[in-house]
Amino acid sequence: MLFSSVPFLFYFLPAALLIYFAAPRQLKNAVLLLASLFFYAWGEPKYMLLMLVSIVQGYGFGLLIEKHRGQKASKVFLTLSILVSLGLLGYFKYADFFLSSVNAVTGFSLPLLKLSLPIGISFYTFQVLSYVIDVYRGETAAQRNFIDLAAYVSLFPQLIAGPIVRYSDVAAELKSRTHSVSAAAEGVRRFTVGFAKKILLANQFGALASAYKSTQDASVLFVWLYALAFLLQVYFDFSGYSDMAIGLGRMLGFQFPENFNYPYISASITEFWRRWHMSLGSWFRDYLYIPLGGSRKGKARQLLNILIVWLATGLWHGAAWTFVLWGLWFAVLLLLEKLALLPVLFAVWEGLTAKTAVLPVPFFAPPQALIEVLHDDWPRLLDSLRVERTQSAQRKITVTRKEQSVVKQQDGSGRSRAIPVEVRRKRVFVKNPQVLAEEAARAEAEAAQARRAAEEKAAAEACARAEAEER
């Protein structure tokens, strides 16, 4: 049942909200659980039992982990819960992908299981994983009320398309939350914005993309329009569903985390993934990247961790080699950025696009497009770099955002210590030398004019003082 469908908008949602607000406070979570199970069963009733199994094992292992916290048994129970969650996800989502890959490599003819993918399994699996891991770390207490935990995992606003809500984000609201007309109105407004993104923008861009796929004679302009349309369709579709989920949560008294923050204004690949699908990015950061060592074990280990995380990210998005390659593509871009090579490419790119009237090719375009542009503009690229070095004092700088960095400084004893400093990420546009010379001449003429005006003003003031003294 899609949020934009007639059954959801005119039947399910009004009935669910009416029963929810009519129910007493102590029964609201039970109403949410029943509504969420009905919502899930509407689209795929045979897999509702699978979600309940995931919830039950998370509930049971969470209590066992808390009971034996600080003991080896706690880690054993955590491992078992993770294996069960990932086992269910792997079997239903990746079994056929694995079998088909083995067949392609070895020439075998292993029969495929032909399993349909359970709706929302990637989302509710990650929510159960974050819950048991947080209980193991002591960051949250185990939930002893099964209905409350089941309502959290199956909550229908975020069950299908996110955002990925952690238990710690809503633990207090599961126990006690406030409802008001203003909060409900805010939720309705947010839902309406998301609905408009989906229907008025995403669907229309999708129609344009479909028109390109059906044509047999695509011009260069049509290819560019298709690329732009697909880019915007993906964003407005996904962010629209996230807005609708956040709005529904607000109507029910929950504060869900934001999932998108204008990702296409990003100045780097790292910043882009801090703005796009933020709940997924922070999940992989906190539950995979940092446990692997993050950046604490040297540059080589950090680069390996980035590669592992993006392989996992690609597989999370889909069980196909195209998603694996997509994850590796972004891993390579991030590795280049961490090695301080990507900022040079971005500066060169902006230097080129600032001098041309053609539509710039984004870094998330297909690799062959990047190669063609760099090959054609290589001489101008070198000239841009020379101008940037010789005219660095006359750069036009636009500060895009602030970020916190850490540098090392030696103290009096000669030892290094880390101190936080504020740095600014800059976007550099290299100007043509002739333009710079014209601007310098114009600035000099303006300065001379200002000096003459100041001298004339001083002379007039002197004359005025002399006349006043004579009188």
**Cβ–Cβ under 8 Å, residues 36 and 155:** yes
Using N-to-C axis directions, what is the helix angle for 13-22 and 28-43, rounded to 10°? 160
Residue of 280, 282, 264 lying closest to 272 (CA atoms): 264
Q: Choosing from 68, 179, 277, 317, which is the catalytic residue?
A: 317
Is residue 317 annotated as a catalytic residue, yes or no? yes
Report d(CA 335, CA 282) in Å as an integer: 18
Residues in the chain: 471
Within 10 A of 279 (CB to CB), how many other CB atoms are there? 21
Report d(CA 74, CA 65) in Å as an integer: 5
Say how far residue 69 (Cα) sits from the centre of its chain. 33
Residue whose structure tokens are 């063609």: 372
Neighbour-count burial of 172, counting CB atoms closer than 10 A to its CB (0-12 exposed, 13-18 middle, 19+ buried): exposed
HSE on the CB side for 320, CA within 13 Å? 5
Residue whose structure tokens are 């999708």: 206
- 3-state helix, strand, coil split of the chain in percent (to 5) is 70, 5, 25
C-alpha dihedral sign at 158, 164, 169, 175: positive
Query: What are the residues whose beta carbons fall under 8 Å from the beta carbon of 430, sequence distance 6 or more?
Result: 347, 350, 351, 354, 355, 384, 387, 388, 391, 395
Query: What are the residues whose beta carbons fall under 8 Å from the beta carbon of 127, sequence distance 6 or more?
Result: 152, 153, 164, 165, 166, 167
Q: Which residues are catalytic?
A: 317
